[in-house]
Amino acid sequence: MSILKVARMGHPVLRERARPLEPSEISTPRIQRLIDDMFETMHDSQGIGLAGPQVHESIRLFVAGVDEEDAGMSPVVIINPEITPIGTEVEEDWEGCLSIPDVRGRVPRAVEIRIRALDRHGTPIAMTASGYPARVVQHETDHLDGVLFFDRMTSFDSLTFLEEYSRYWTGKET
């Protein structure tokens, strides 16, 4: 496995709409290796999610989650996702992005969502997610449409560098 270069904000690949993966493509060594490399890259950068476009692959694929009890989300591979909100409840909370290093901001997201996608074997999966995992899935799915978390913020008042986040914002609810 190897650690991939992460595209940073400003790279055009982050603003493209990524193409769906053909089911026959998913089992190829190239895609299987890419998935393993994306997990390794995400762990190396201590992220909770990483989407294809963030490693210069404009395809509808992301990995998310960490295999640790306190990580809040188990590892998943999501391909060609379709997500729909369940209900109308929206919650604002902090997000960061490996493509926008050392910046945090509060982003409104649907609290509960339904996900239909393919897994790394090309098998259709359907599930629901709520709270933190639902937020991560929405953030990563946005990457597949060329959308960054700034685009979802309703106000930039909470936009902060990591150092100022630690100094002024940690633990604050609003």
What amino acid is encoded at 98 in this protein? L
> Smallest gap, in angstroms, from Cβ of residue 96 to Ni ion?
8
Scored b (16 or more CB within 10 A) or e, 51-68 reads bbbbbebebbbbbbbbee
Site string for Ni ion, 56-95 (x = CB under 5 A): ----------------------------------------
72 or 87: whose CB is closer to Ni ion?
A: 72
> Smallest gap, in angstroms, from Cβ of residue 95 to Ni ion?
8
Distances (CA, A) of 77 to 81, 91, 120, 162: 10, 25, 6, 28
What's the burial of 166, exposed, middle or buried (CB within 10 Å: 0-12/13-18/19+)?
Answer: exposed
Residue 57 annotated to the active site: no
97 or 110: whose CB is closer to Ni ion?
A: 97
> Smallest gap, in angstroms, from Cβ of residue 98 to Ni ion?
6
Is residue 18 involved in binding Ni ion (CB under 5 A)? no
Chosen residue from 4, 14, 21, 97 binding Ni ion by CB under 5 A: 97
